[in-house]
Each structure stands twice: as structure tokens, then as C-alpha cells.
Structure 1
Amino acid sequence: MGLLDGLWRGRESVFDPGNAATNSIQLTGRQNRVSLTKQDAASGHLRVNLTWRMRTSDLMGPQRESLLRHPLRALKPPEVVGHSQSMVNVDLDLGCLYELQDGTKGVVQPLGDYLGDVNAPPYVKLSGDDRFGSGSGETMYVNLDHRDAIKRLLVFVYIYDQTPAFDRTHAVVTLYPSNGPSIEIALDERQPQARSCAVMMIENVKDEIMVRREVKYVYGFQGELDRLYGWGLQWGRGYKTKV
């Protein structure tokens, strides 16, 4: 059972055309925003999906580096090696800080079972908590039929356990709008000590639903993301039960 400070109390669209084969848009540091409204995708349920896997280079660890320097060693019988630090159990969680037009603020996240509601405020619902990085990952739904009630949503990812490992995972957050291509944001920057990452902001700007890439890593948890973006919530200690 882990412990962290992460339990809540109380312009013009510019984007990368993406990969035609997969019909997706990749938001990058230089091309960092897209308008769902201009794509006729600002209604229905917006699906937000987090998936991750260990980086291939880290799965082999020092052994891979040795083979690159000395290729003939690959012909020798494999050595039996113990459990290394690189083989950690990574538990990435998907969450969302929300602010509604009426001033209501809060969080949707697995920690504390703040799973939200898709048909009532905050119109954001987390489907569950994937602790093992399965193929389906974690999924959150945003009901854009109530977009007039939404001011801004900050989608974030954090590492629940006490082992920072963003540098050893390849995580991707993908938006699946009701219409048009999916939108991908890769968390592929090596930030070995970071525990949380603000991934994207979904914002209602003059009745236009904009998605903006953030990808800002912090060394703390939700409380630090709150301070970075000025949410103003009060935070306390939170737990996850063992499975």
C-alpha cells in the first residue's frame, strides 16, 4: 500500500497532420494545439486513453549496452542475472483537474475513488484503474454535449508508487473524439526523477473546444500540478488499497 500527497479534499488551430495510415494527429512541442470545434468533434463522448510499456532498451539494461560494444558476446550462453532496478513495477495513473463555468473545481482520479460522472457535473468519468499497464490501459470519458458547462480540464499522469520511472516507460495519451482523427501526445522525454506530468489542457475558449499539449513534468504529485496551474484546491494524504 502506497502513500502520497495526492488526495483532493474538499486562435487558430495548429497541428501535425499526423500519420495517414493510422488516421491520427500527433501534438508536438512546435505544433501543440488543435480545435475540436473546427473538426466538428466538439460533441458526444471524448475518450481519453493512457497506455504505457517499458522501453525496450531498459528491459535488457546493462546487458544490451554490453552487446552493442561487444557483438561476439551474443554467441556466449546467457548469464543469469538478478532483479535489477530497471525492472520496476510501474503504476501510471490517469487523472484530470477540472474547472466548470460556475466555478466548481475538483479532481477525477483513481486515488480516493474520485471517479467522476459522465452525465452530471463534472461531466468527466474515469472507467477504472489499470495497475499493470495492460493493452487497454486506463480510459476517461468527457461528455462534450455539456461543453458549455466546462471551462478547462487538465489531463495529467502520475506514478503512484515510490519509484519515479518516467525515463523507463513509454507512455502515450490518446484522445478519441466523436468525429475525425485521434489525437496523440507521447510522454517520451526522459525525466528520471519526475513523479507527475501535466499532459494536456482541454479548454473552452469563446465557445471553441481547444486541446493544447502541455507535457510539463513535476517532481511532486497533484498538489504541485495544482500550484503550477493555479487550481487552488486543498490536498491531503491518499492511499490505494492492495489488490
Structure 2
Amino acid sequence: MSRDQLSGDSLAAASRNRAKFSKHGGKGAAGHVQEGMDKESLTLDGGRYQDVITIPEGFNEPLYIGLSWNNVIQIREEGLLNRMMNKMQDIGVDLDLGCLYELHDGQRGALQPFGDLYGDYEKAPFIYHSGDERTGDTAGDDEHIRLNVSQWKRIKKVLIYCYIYKGPERWEEIMPEISLKMGNLEDIKLKLRSYRDDLPICALATLENKDGKVEITQHAEYFRGHPAMDRAFGFGIRWEEGEKS
């Protein structure tokens, strides 16, 4: 066997191992989860970690993906005296909703307030982000994404995530919750039951096109940055540093 062939075989084997390691078909490492938690512990509201939405024929209302969270959390103030007096302070949290998407024609990208990436409902990618809500004070969902269900046949998969843009990394107190709503169908709630307070980005769920149906899988995996999350889920997006204005 030639050296070139051996190198090629080794690279292919390594790629397969990385894909298996990520669990999502990507070539990066899987995200971090809370110690002691496994897939069976990551459930949708109602005790499942997967669900399926069947799209009625001729249905043209959007699939609404909403995010809500606790916009203010309490943390103990610094200093010996403050700790002795158990003095607490309120800290505001700016949480952002985002998604990675891939269409069947190979087009892929990200939607999120960071970078003003809001998408388009009528044209590709057929997904639209509502924009940035910095306070979390609005009634109901604070940010939402609308997915054009009439174009679902053109969408391969979508990864829903949220990230802490400003504020302490205290996921258990921030308590993000995702709501999926579509017409008169029963709402689906995704509640985090697994936390990693040392990491700012949480991959919440994937929506995959399986024979025209929407298959929903919850993840609750945490990452240090967007590129690591992307590598784990295999979208292959180019990331650049920026700042939310």
C-alpha cells in the first residue's frame, strides 16, 4: 500500500471517527452537557426528547419558534461584608435566539441579531428572525423565528440555538424556553433541564425534514463559540468576529 493511499485511508477513518464523536454528522466534537446527564434526560415538555409535526396539505401558516427567558437574575455581591450579609444584586441578561440552516440545494447560513442576519420569509432561506429584544421584558416570547412551512420541502435542516450576549452565564436561573407553534396544532415546549454555566452558547434543538415532516430533536449541548457548535452539527458556515450595534 502506498504512503499516499495510507494517508488517505487514515484521513477518511479519522473523519468517520470525528463524525461519530459529534453524534450529529459533523466533524467537530460534541457539545458539553451537564455532568451525569444523557440523551434520555433531555426531554421536550411531556417527557420526550423527539417529536414530529405533520404538515397538513395546503397549509401555509408559519412555524413559529419563540424564545422567552428570565431577563433579570440575582447574584451575590462581591466583598466579604456583602457575602456575610448575603447581599444580592439584580443583573440584566441579554439572550439572543438564532438558527443555522441548510437547504436542499446546498445553501446554508445563520440567522441571529449578532451581525444583523435576519433572513427572508418569502425568499431563500424561507426563515425570518424577528430582530433583537435586549431586555426580555416583552409579554410572551421575547424573540422569535418564523419558518415558511409552504417551502419546507426546500429546507433540509435547521438548528435552533440561543446565546448569552450580555450578562452572567447562569443558565439555570436564566431559564430559556422555546415554544413551537403552528396554526391550530398543539404547541410544543422545549425546556432546558441540563445546564453548563461555564459556556455561553446552547444548541437547543434540530428540525429535520424527514419525508416532508418536521422531526424535532432536543439537544441542550453547550459550546464556547459558534464555530465549535457549527463543526459539531456539520453546517460548514464561515464565521467572522463582529459586534452587535
Q: Same fold (TM over 0.5)?
A: yes
Partner of 2:14: none
Partner of 1:237: 241
Partner of 1:8: none
CA contact (8 A) 1:158 1:221 kept: no
Q: 1:106 to 1:198 in 2, by over 3 A?
A: same
Pick the aligned partner of 2:52 from 21, 25, 35: 35
Q: Are residue 110 (structure 1) and residue 113 (structure 2) matched?
A: yes
> Greater shift after overlay, 209-218 or 91-100?
209-218
Which letter maps to 1:109?
Q
Distance 2:205 2:131 in 1: 20
What is the aligned-residue RMSD (CA, Å)?
2.6
Cα shift readout 1:8-33 (whole Å, capped 9, x = no counterpart): xxxxxxxxxxxxxxxxxx71696111
Q: Are residue 153 (structure 1) and residue 158 (structure 2) matched?
A: yes
> Greater shift after overlay, 165-174 or 93-102?
165-174
Measure how far apart 1:42 and its partner are: 6.9
CA contact (8 A) 2:71 2:92 kept: no
What SS class does the counterpart of residue 152 from structure 2 fall into? helix
What SS class does the counterpart of residue 194 from structure 1 fall into? coil
Cα shift readout 1:24-67 (whole Å, capped 9, x = no counterpart): xx716961111111788975201111000168xx63859xxxxx
Partner of 1:211: 216
CA contact (8 A) 1:41 1:180 kept: no
Which letter maps to 1:59?
Q
Pick the aligned partner of 2:74 from 59, 79, 83: 59
Distance 1:183 1:41 in 2: 21
CA contact (8 A) 2:178 2:189 kept: yes
Q: 1:95 to 1:42 in 2, by over 3 A?
A: farther
Measure how far apart 1:213 and its partner are: 1.3
Distance 2:58 2:74 in 1: 39
Q: 1:82 to 1:28 in 2, by over 3 A?
A: closer
What SS class does the counterpart of residue 125 from structure 1 fall into? strand
Which letter maps to 2:232?
L
Cα shift readout 1:169-222 (whole Å, capped 9, x = no counterpart): 11101101123110001124232112111111111012222111121122x122
Which letter maps to 1:47?
Y
Q: Are residue 199 (structure 1) and residue 214 (structure 2) matched?
A: no
Distance 1:225 1:194 in 2: 12
Partner of 1:178: 183
Q: Are residue 44 (structure 1) and residue 44 (structure 2) matched?
A: no
Q: What are the equivalent positions in structure 2 for 1:93-172 lying under 5 Å apart?
A: 93-134=96-137, 135-136=139-140, 137-161=142-166, 163-172=168-177
Identify unmatched segments of 5+ residues in structure 1: 1-25, 63-78
Distance 2:199 2:75 in 1: 22
Partner of 1:72: none
Measure how far apart 1:89 and its partner are: 1.9
Cα shift readout 1:150-184 (whole Å, capped 9, x = no counterpart): 00000100111363221321110110112311000
Query: Normalised by the size of structure 2, how large is the TM-score?
Result: 0.71
Identify unmatched segments of 5+ residues in structure 2: 1-42, 78-84
Higher-strand-fraction structure: 1
Distance 2:170 2:88 in 1: 19
Query: Normalised by the size of structure 1, how large is the TM-score?
Result: 0.72
CA contact (8 A) 2:93 2:167 kept: no
CA contact (8 A) 2:64 2:181 kept: yes
Q: 1:29 to 1:224 in 2, by over 3 A?
A: farther
Which letter maps to 1:183?
I
Runs of 4+ aligned structure 1 residues displaced above 4 Å come to 38-43
CA contact (8 A) 2:207 2:214 kept: yes
Partner of 1:223: 227
The total of aligned residue pairs comes to 194
CA contact (8 A) 2:94 2:166 kept: yes
